[in-house]
């Protein structure tokens, strides 16, 4: 219930005199009052108008107030709406039953207008506070989720950081080992990156790294992931991927980066990458062994002249 909206109150009572009195009383306080006389009609009205508060009589000919309350509390769309019972029934047993089926308050007829208004104001304020708390909790959860995601991301390039990549890789390695599934690792780094930094400056070098990292991220499948391993070196985790497919992906990535024209404030820059690919072997007991072989393949690619792919 937004602060600037008039609260809507549904009154359910089959006695015309009570209905008229409550309607006049609450309308006089500028509430939007909707009166109904039957239980089933009340359930339909609640699902249509979504009132902020319900004043509910117990004794009605078609469906008693307890049943109406139970129906509304069983529906996720309406179970948050506070219900105040107003009834001539004054036994403790009746009051206990009203609270057990979901009522938040109980006013005995004949009621005092001041008491009704006080309780209505109280429960509308409580409902407003609950809504505000829920909104704050949702925002907090979103903020925590954003913070958790940021903790996984390399701030410069927008891909996973090394720590989170290792978590994912270790998990995927355990799955691949357990079910004897293929798994590949591809490592690459930017050729002659020091030259780019020296010639154009570190800010331009950062732009080059970001562009290459995001280009790589667009080349891989949604089941794959990319992390920044350190400096200008990146690593790809490729579940359910054998060497041939890993080499094919690496070559596609190599070509995509080689075709880039990176527009910077100091002119257009081109760059290339060298890539090494390794796949899981039956003798591997930890993910680091695959990573180490991919790293060796990467350095083999550099020794072969850079801007190429090597698999081991």
Give the catalytic positions in this structure: 232
| Residue found under tokens 């219930």 | 1
Pairing of strands 83-87, 53-56: parallel
E strand segments, 61-214: 83-87, 105-108, 183-190
Residue 286, class by beta-carbon neighbours within 10 Å (0-12 exposed, 13-18 middle, 19+ buried)?
exposed
Exposure string of 90-127, with b = 16+ CB inside 10 Å and e = fewer, is eeeebbebbeebbbbbbbeeebeeeebeebbeebbeeb
List, in sequence order, every residue forming a beta bridge with 227; answer none if it has no partner.
Answer: 160, 235
E strand segments, 13-104: 32-36, 53-56, 83-87
Q: Could you tell me which residues come within 8 angstroms of residue 286 by beta carbon, excluding any fewer than 6 positions away? A: 173
E strand segments, the chain: 8-12, 32-36, 53-56, 83-87, 105-108, 183-190, 225-230, 233-239, 262-264, 267-269, 273-279, 309-311
Collapsing DSSP to helix, strand or coil, 104 comes out as coil
Pairing of strands 262-264, 8-12: unpaired
- Write down the number of H helices and E strands in the chain: 10, 12
Q: Is 306 left (phi over 0), alpha (psi -120 to 50) or beta?
A: left
């Amino acid at each position: 219930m937004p602060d600037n909206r008039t609260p809507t109150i549904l009154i359910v009572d089959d006695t015309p005199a009570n209905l008229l009195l409550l309607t006049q009383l609450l309308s006089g306080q500028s509430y939007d009052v909707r009166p109904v006389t039957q239980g089933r009609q009340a359930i339909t009205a609640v699902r249509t108008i979504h009132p902020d508060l319900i004043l509910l009589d117990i004794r009605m000919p078609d469906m008693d107030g307890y049943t109406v309350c139970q129906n509304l509390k069983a529906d996720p769309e309406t179970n948050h709406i506070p219900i105040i019972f107003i009834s001539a029934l004054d036994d403790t047993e009746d009051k206990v039953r009203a609270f057990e089926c979901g009522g938040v308050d109980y006013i005995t007829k004949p009621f005092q207008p001041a008491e009704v208004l006080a309780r209505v104001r109280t429960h509308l304020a409580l409902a407003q506070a609950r809504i505000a708390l829920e909104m704050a909790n949702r925002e907090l959860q979103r903020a925590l989720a954003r913070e958790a995601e940021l903790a996984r991301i390399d701030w410069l390039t927008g891909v996973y950081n090394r720590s989170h990549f290792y978590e994912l890789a270790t998990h995927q390695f355990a799955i691949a080992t357990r079910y004897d599934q293929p798994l590949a690792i591809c490592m690459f780094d930017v050729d002659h990156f020091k030259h780019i930094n020296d010639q154009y400056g570190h800010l331009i070098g950062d732009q080059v790294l970001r562009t290459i990292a995001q280009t790589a991220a667009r080349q891989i499948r949604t089941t794959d992931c990319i992390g920044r391993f350190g400096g200008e070196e990146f690593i790809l985790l490729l579940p359910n991927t054998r060497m041939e497919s890993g080499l094919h992906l690496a070559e596609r990535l190599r070509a995509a980066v080689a075709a880039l024209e990176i527009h910077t404030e100091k002119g257009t820059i081109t760059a290339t990458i060298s890539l090494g690919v390794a796949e899981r072997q039956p003798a591997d007991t930890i993910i680091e062994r695959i990573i180490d072989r991919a790293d060796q393949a990467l350095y083999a690619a550099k020794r072969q002249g850079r801007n190429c792919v090597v698999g081991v």
